[in-house]
Structure 1
Amino acid sequence: MSFTVAIDGPAAAGKGTISKAVAAHFGFHHLDTGLLYRAVGKKALNYSRTSYYPEIAEQLALELTAEDLQATDLRTAEVAQAASKIAVIPQVRTALVQFQKTFAKQEDGAVLDGRDIGTVICPDADVKLFVTASARVRADRRFKELSAKDPSVEFEQVYQDVMARDARDAERDVAPMVAADDAHLIDTSTLSIEEAIQAAIAVIDAKK
């Protein structure tokens, strides 16, 4: 019998780390749905200036392969911004929804993390979590990650990017990023990684 865990939240809140740990703990399959949009975003960057036209973006999404999700440069700031732009295009979301829904119904259990898993992709998920943290805390986490690879990265720019992305994700007309009414909120602003993971496991254990 399938068991689905939907984990949503803004960038750099910790949902990816929590999702992987939860999947490993319970032996569930894991899908970082953001990688789907990042992979399409990367395709858009490599295609042309017409990439964000709905019909072009839709085709790029339909051509997505499992291999595309293994690319090592999907976590760059440039790809993240492209993914956020791609994600607001209805045709792209439609093209990727069925893949996610199918993944969620695996008999061994599944954990999906993203922006609209609990509200759109898996509204009937067995457990829904909304992982968040203050914008400044999330910007600091992202800054440390990016500056380790590129010393020229400035905190203020990262902070503005986080704020802009939050606004775009929350205000988009299609599947905006909001916590499901029945989602359990986990604020990681002052939690250690281990504390956040244990909080998530406790919620799932209570349900199982």
Structure 2
Amino acid sequence: MGIPSGVSGAAAAEGLGEPLGDAVVRRAPSLLGGKRVHLYEEGLVLGSGAQVRRWADVTRWRSTVDVIVTTNEQGDRARYTLAHRHLLRFGDGTEQGFLLDERRTVLGPMVVEPFENLRIRSAAEHIRKRVAEARAPALLDRIGKGRQVTFGPLTADAHGVFVPGGLLPLPLGRDAGAVSRRRPAGLSRAGVLVAAAPGRPARPAGQGRAR
């Protein structure tokens, strides 16, 4: 199924970059179809109305990965599917959710991942990173003012990140610039806050939320 001309035109006009793939608002019977969400590098285009939303405008975000396991009638063959769910809230208070279902994969000694699944995981990870990058300045500003922020199961302040078992010291000082100068090698400013929070495709399930 190609991208409708109205959708591609709206994406081009808003500078959303290259398409990442399609998602649906919710699962629906195949005969009824589902409202499509067209995903791009810098945002999404919703349905036939071609409403554009940008990742940079997200103010709250929730990302989960569901694992769905099914077996045949004999119970000797199992398949699993990873379902990537995103719920976004934008600056004007509106919310938009969408769902990316991977293709079913047969469990066995040699698991061969369909190429389409790798593409979907790459798209989901790109969205997580772009939203995290957009949220990081506001979160770092709150930390710089001596406040705490929560991100998924984590809480952070100027001293570090609170994780189960205690405080993990990280360079989240009051000077936001200090994060750039002192962060661990290979960890972005956004990554300081989200490295352990969002769901990662490599694990069975995960969750991240920014408030």
Query: TM-score band (shorter)?
Result: under 0.3
Which of 1 and 2 has greater Rg? Answer: 2
Q: TM-score, normalised by structure 2?
A: 0.26
The structure in which a higher percent of residues are strand is 2
The structure in which a higher percent of residues are helix is 1
